A and B are shown apart, each in its own frame.
Chain A
Amino acid sequence: MIEVDALVKVYPGRPPVRAVDGVSFEAERGEVFGLLGANGAGKTTTLRMLVTLLAPDGGTARVNGHDIRTAPELVRASVGYLSITTGLYDRLTPREMLVSFGRMQGLPDPRSRAEQLIERFGIAEFADQRCSRLSTGMKQKVSIARALVHDPPVLVLDEPTVGLDVLVAQTFLEFVESAREEGRAVLYSTHIMSEVERLCDRVAIIHEGRIVAARAVDDLIASHGTVEAAFVAIVKGA
């Protein structure tokens, strides 16, 4: 589903920063794949290259069989992307957001798709309030619905629980689990160890732009006791 092959991104500067330095991994259908790293490790840059927001300086990746370099539109059509900000328009209501994004994704009937998502994520109560007035939890629900509007086979989630309270975060984790049940491939970047333990099947630990370990989460726990202990040991060793 997602095949990442030696991606490189260099930001200009003195000296140039190799933000992503030859990252490779694969994630399968029906799998939650964690990308674990400290702030600035290169998680967000990697994800942005995957959803074709950034052009890679080296390497490539295939998402749902489409190459990010040669078929960016088809890649984006296959991906639901949740950025670190909620990315909602303050001026629009959730319903308008969903209809408008559905239309831009080329859905034949964006309105009924919007209603479907509104019902599924419990948005109905505030579907006609402006997004600027919504609470963080409400916004997160709308963002998820927005990312799913075109029913993508791949989800790319960039630190989606940052700033959420415990209860909302719980709901969110349940949603990720249900996405796995539905057979989607989920790429999940985070720096929160407990989420990795709970959600991810496999995890890649990224440090200073390189993958320093890519293992099944169960293996990590078996060898180090917790993901946190494994992370600290591996990053210090790297």
Chain B
Amino acid sequence: MTTGRSWRSGLFAALQHEGLLLWRQPGVLAVYAVLALVLGPVGLVGMQAWVGAADRAAGSVAEGRVLPISADATVSTWIREGDGLEVVDGPVSTDREIEGTESYAHARIDGKKVILERALSVLPAGKVEERFQKVLRRENADRRAAELARVGVDPEDFAIEVEVVERSASSKQGDVAGRVLPGTLVFLLIVVALFSAFDTLTKEKEKGTAETLLSLSLDRRVLIGAKYLAVVLTTVGVGSLWALGLFVSEAVGLLSLPDLFGEGQVFTLRTTAILLLFVVLVGSQVAAASIAVAAWAPNYRQASVASTPMMLMLLAPTGFASFQQSDLTPLFAITPMLNVATATRLWLSGELDVAMGLLTLVATTVHAGIALGASAWWLQHGDPLDRGLDAESRRGVGNFAPDAPALFALVLVCFWFLGTLAQATNVIGGIVFSQIVLFGGLAVAGVAWVGAPLRETLSLRMPAPRDLALGVVIGVTLPALGSLVAVVSSFVVPVPKDTMSNLASITEYPLPLVLLAAAVLPGICEELLFRGAMLGLLRTRTGPVLAIAVSSAMFGLVHLDIARIPITGVLGLVFGVLLVRSGSVWVGAIAHLLNNGILFTIAAVAGSAPRALGGGAWVGLLVGAAVCLFAVSRVGARRYDAAARRSDAGTG
């Protein structure tokens, strides 16, 4: 189909139009520029403080991670290289040296490389050896003895030699930079891409200008192409400003990074070029995804609802790549976002495999092409304005407020830097700070700031006594449900059997203090934030099912640990149902408090979470989970009965 003029002149004209619209928003452009210039250095300072504090606190930490072990395994199969610690034949050795880095360590056991997982908690230096042994003993002793007895060898002849090999300084620092910098950058790029896509597409629908724009003789593909290019150029421009800002500020001495990175300039031309490539790759991906959402969403309200899960979907792989010890396997290399984030981290630390890098590049191009092709198809064939242009329904749409995603992004970034930093400095103090200031404080401040009514949004009203009682029943049985989820999800994601391993070190503190920090405060503050604020705000824009699902995903994601996402996600669903059904945040709070309290009390008493499950434990788990789900359904039924009674009274 042709209009008798080249698509190039049409595209150029449409691009000029987009450019003019963008240029006429000096305020927004200024905000982008400030964000771009501030986020980089702030991220670096946060990283510097994080690493510095961890170094000061301990200098080393190590923690073992062991896969679930099946009962009929043999020595050769039940320990897998790279996944856990290994039993090796050899003489008893008592003099071994363990050195860790602040974030994670590689260990060598009998010459084989074993990855010791990064730990959030930091142990005093003298405890490292002890901790290491504890991990080894706890996970392996019984089975090793049994296995050795089976093959008829005296256990006294065996020992484990552990050698932790510290990485070179520059590799380590590049690695740390590669973990933190892409995270902040991706956050920046997503925010900019989403905002400019919504502004250039969804807002036009809402304001009615899309109607006049689409009635122009331009081909729709040209129009959407121009909008896509405008979003890409904005996003890449902001990202480049971010990278160049870091480069320049270090080059002219505004940022001094020897403490963090050792000798020499960190943001060399090479690093900056890598980051710029990252910006272009991620920018064109998130821009395509944002355009697709903006094209689909009939109005800002819908776009705002869709933006939250989208932001989570894009941020989660990046977070995973930044925080987990992941290598660039072929599967990772073709996974959107995960591939780019992992590749960048490995490239920055000089460990990127060339073939995998190329695969990443190809996969990224393909992804962007698919996303863009899909949105072009949708705009060409899918009646994009159908729902959006229905005048009557458009009149009913209120002002856009990206409250829930914005608040979540704020919490995530603050927790990412401040929370982990504080916990690295002092575990209990860090948790108390994170809970009260970052979770509870931001929940109340965020809701107040967007102007929503506090009491109603946060569901602060007192629950009915029966709901509260059911909350207690659920809280007592919830650890069973959580453990069941942990067992099930361990088939998909390797889950440490001790699901609280990251926090295990706090059991060294007095129990009342632990219960305050890890049970009472999370019960109140996390519920206020994720059920009160997030679920409360989301519910004003969408139905309860989607709101519960999204707020649970947020709750899972904020724990910054992929292994715990299934468990915390399911707990989030339970708490979400409790809030929606009981109308009070306190029912979930009491259940949350009891759940955490029981788990930490067990950990303190037993010295660790329960180990392999016997038959009795399985029965207990299933019964507990069933009681828990039944109690949840009772809260729902009660609410339903009450509603039915009210409507009966109304009609009768």
Contact = CB atoms under 8 A, between A and B. Distances in A.
User: Do chains A and B stick together as partners?
Assistant: yes
Interface of A: 11, 40, 44, 48, 51-55, 71-74, 76-77, 79, 81, 83-92, 96, 100-101, 103-106, 146-147, 150
Given A53-B385, A104-B14, A89 B209 contact: yes
Given A53-B389, A104-B10, A106-B217, A92 B212 contact: no
B399 interface: no
B3 A106 contact: yes
Contact of B212 (A96, A106, A146): A146
Interface string B124-158: 00000000000000000000000000000000000
B21 A89 contact: yes
B24 A100 contact: no
B13 A55 contact: no
A156 to B, nearest CB: 9
A74 B16 CA distance: 22
Contact of A73 (B21, B25, B219, B389): B219
Nearest to A76: B217
Contact of A106 (B1, B10, B17, B392): B10
Residue from the set B3, B215, B381 with the largest chain A CB neighbour count within 10 Å: B215
A107 B223 CA distance: 17
7 contacts: A53-B215, A72-B1, A74-B3, A76-B218, A81-B212, A86-B208, A89-B207
In the complex, which of the residues B217, B391, B392 has the most CB atoms of chain A within 10 Å of its own CB atom? B217
A88 B212 CA distance: 8
Interface string B613-645: 000000000000000000000000000000000
A150 B217 contact: yes
Instruction: Name which of B1, B3, B212 has the most chain A CB atoms within 10 A of its CB.
Output: B212
Which 6 A-B pairs rank lowest in CB-CB distance, beginning with the nearest? A85-B208, A77-B217, A87-B212, A91-B24, A81-B215, A103-B13
Contacts, number: 91
A88 B213 CA distance: 10
Contact of A83 (B13, B20, B208): B208
Interface in B1-44: 1-3, 5, 9-10, 13-14, 16-17, 20-21, 24-25
Interface-central residue, A11, A54, A89, by most chain B CB under 10 Å:
A89
Contact of B13 (A71, A89, A104): A104
A103 B211 contact: no
B217 A73 contact: yes
A76 B211 contact: no
A11 B383 CA distance: 11
A195 to B, nearest CB: 19
A53 B13 contact: no
A96 B216 CA distance: 16
A150 B3 CA distance: 14
A103 B3 CA distance: 14
Interface in B197-249: 207-209, 211-212, 214-219
Contacts of B215: 51-53, 76, 79, 81, 83
Given A52-B215, A83-B212, A87-B209, 14 more contacts: A48-B389, A55-B381, A73-B1, A76-B215, A76-B216, A81-B212, A83-B208, A83-B211, A84-B391, A85-B207, A92-B20, A92-B21, A96-B20, A106-B13
B386 interface: yes
Nearest to B382: A55
Given A92-B20, A106-B10, A85 B211 contact: yes
Interface in B337-386: 381, 383, 385-386
Nearest to A40: B392
Contacts of A147: 212
A101 B216 CA distance: 8
B3 A53 contact: no
Contacts of B25: 91
Contacts of B5: 106
| Residue from A44, A85, A147 with most neighbouring chain B CB atoms (10 Å) | A85
Residue picked from A40, A96, A104, most chain B C-beta under 10 Å? A104
A72 B219 CA distance: 9
Contacts of B212: 81, 83, 87, 101, 146-147
A146 B16 CA distance: 17
A58 to B, nearest CB: 14
Given A87-B211, A88-B209, A90-B207, A103 B16 contact: yes
B376 to A, nearest CB: 15
A87 B13 contact: no
A55 B21 contact: no
Contacts of B385: 48, 53-54
Given A55-B383, A91-B25, A106 B9 contact: yes
A160 to B, nearest CB: 13
B21 A91 contact: yes
Nearest to B204: A89
Given A81-B212, A88-B209, A96-B20, A104 B391 contact: no
A100 B20 contact: yes
Contacts of A83: 208, 211-212, 215
A73 B383 contact: no
A103 B217 contact: no
A79 B385 CA distance: 18
Nearest to A55: B383
A222 B13 CA distance: 51
B1 A71 contact: yes
A48 B215 CA distance: 9
A150 B216 CA distance: 10
